[in-house]
Amino acid sequence: MKVTVFGIGYVGLVQAAVLAEAGHKVCCVDVNPKRVADLQAGIIPIFEPGLSSLVQQGVAQGLLEFTTDAATGVHFGELQFIAVGTPPDEDGSADLKYVLKVAASIAQHMTSPKVVINKSTVPVGTGDKVKAVIAQTLAQRQAEIDFAVVSNPEFLKEGAAVADCQRPDRIILGTDNPWAEQQLRELYAPFNRNHDKIIVMDVRSAELTKYAANCMLATKISFMNEMANLAELLGADIEQVRHGIGSDPRIGYHFIYPGCGYGGSCFPKDVQALIRTAEQTGYNTSLLKSVEAVNNAQKHKLFAKLAQHFAGDLAGKTIAIWGLSFKPNTDDMREAPSRALMEALWAAGARVQAFDPEAMEETQRIYGIRADLQLVGTKEAALHQADVLVICTEWKTFRSPDFDLLKQSLRQPVIVDGRNLFDPAKMQQLGFAYYAIGRGDSVYKY
């Protein structure tokens, strides 16, 4: 099939590359000339495992192309994906201007029937707005052309997005149009062979499904972080608790890892957006507001532990940080806990020496050159003459460090572990002061 994807950011590029791998012909449209030129040259703007080779393969096979020309994209495909950003507005609600602009552009250039597919994460009711914009633009052109608007939310995990797209758990189609449903069933047939993963529902339910899924996962994380905070006060070990409750199949082991808060482009934005959507209906989402409040507070836990260790005096201290991205296998720094930590440390007069396998360039882009930030090339270099080590992201390379070298490099044998990577008893045996999340009285002093 011939498919057009508007917006070649994270979601659009992954979806386009995977559709091309399945044999579909895909034209990607973006307003950023540099991004388009880079992709044509094989330069991928984001780090996502497996994506670079997939894009290069699609281009080499002639199945994947990139352009800045909207008219070319509209004429190319019968299926028109909208995968542009919906950044939070000043009040936290999703800003739909880019989505609606693409909808108007499609209507302006279309000369044959189109299925317009909302892949962007959008509030309930956006499908109606997209439909109205297209209808209005066609009326202004005095053009009578059939079209359908479908909600097809994405459920990609950063760091595993390619695999999620190639082997989806479910494919949500929000439509009441038989023609559009059939077109999308044909499009997704290569991903739907083992059993029927397609779930068809109305547009508004599909739009809410995306928000409900992300808000449910965010709720699980904030719940575990609240239990971790309670465990510290009660002298319990949240890791033991996690095993205890995870064995219940009604709860499961997924998304019940305590830590220093969630970040990224989805959970913070989507929780805020659903809160604002609810407020517009007059409903108070007290649970979601608590989820957001717990997460915001959790991002300051690591600084609080450092301040406690140094009796409130962090001025002149050098803090080594392992991990800057909000999660492993991505270079995404949006809403990352490391940002809250570094900014608090700088405000307290401390210096930061940091290493991340992928997010160094993004960190430099955000914060620029500053005397109290040193980005180094290895995790070992980050330790040199630092007072303590803080772990913000659970990259695999941090899981089995050389503890002897770590102890020799640090001025004090202190680890503040925001991801509970190590066994507190082992840390005690090795002579470390080990501050973790929710490990109760198992915090050992050297």
With CA atoms as reference, report the closest residue to 167 among 177, 180, 185, 155.
155
**pLDDT above 60 for 289:** yes
The pair phi, psi for residue 72, each rounded to 5°, is: -60, -45
81 near 4, Cβ under 8 Å?
Answer: yes
Residue 205, both tokens: 């339910």
Are the C-beta atoms of 212 and 178 separated by less than 8 Å?
no
Distance between the two ends of the chain, CA-based, in angstroms?
64
Q: Tens of pLDDT along 340-392?
A: 999 999 999 999 999 999 999 999 999 999 999 999 999 999 999 999 999 99
Looking at residue 430, its pLDDT comes to 95
Residue that the structure tokens 């609240």 belong to: 226
Average pLDDT, the chain: 95
Q: State yes or no: is 215 an active-site residue.
A: no
What average pLDDT does range 161-177 have in this prediction? Answer: 96
Torsion of CA 256, 259, 264, 268, to 10 degrees: 70
Q: What is the pLDDT of residues 124-164, one digit of tens each?
A: 999 999 999 999 999 999 999 999 999 999 999 999 999 99
Among the listed residues 27, 215, 260, 266, the single catalytic one is 266
Burial per residue of 1-32, b for 16 or more beta-carbon CB atoms within 10 angstroms, e otherwise = bebbbbbbbbbbbbbbbbbbbeebbbbbbbee
Instruction: List Cα–Cα distances, 389 to 79, 147, 340, 433, 438, in angstroms.
Output: 51, 57, 16, 11, 18
pLDDT of residue 114: 98
What gap in Å lies between CA 256 and CA 268, rounded to an integer? Answer: 17
Query: Does 330 have pLDDT greater than 80?
Result: yes
- Alpha-carbon span 231 to 438, nearest angstrom: 5
C-alpha closest to that of 385 among 309, 306, 317, 338? 317
For residue 317, what is the DSSP state? -
Query: What amino acid is encoded at 384 in this protein?
Result: H
Strands 64-67 and 25-29, sheet pairing: parallel
pTM over 0.95: no
Confidence of residue 415 (pLDDT cuts 50, 70, 90): very high
**Cβ(199)–Cβ(172) below 8 Å:** yes
For helices 203-234 and 238-246, angle between their N-to-C axes, nearest 10 degrees: 140
Cα(259)–Cα(446) distance, integer angstroms = 23
Q: What is the pLDDT of residues 206-246, one digit of tens each?
A: 999 999 999 999 999 999 999 999 999 999 999 999 999 99
Q: 209-237: string of b/e by CB count within 10 Å (b at 16+)?
A: bbbebbbebbbbbbbbbbbbbebbeeebb
> In the structure encoding, which two tokens stand for residue 276, read together?
């604002």
Q: In angstroms, what is the C-alpha Rg of the chain?
A: 24
Backbone angles phi, psi at 363, to 5 degrees: -60, -45
Question: Are 277 and 91 within 8 A, CB to CB?
Answer: no
**Does the structure show a pLDDT above 80 at 259?**
yes
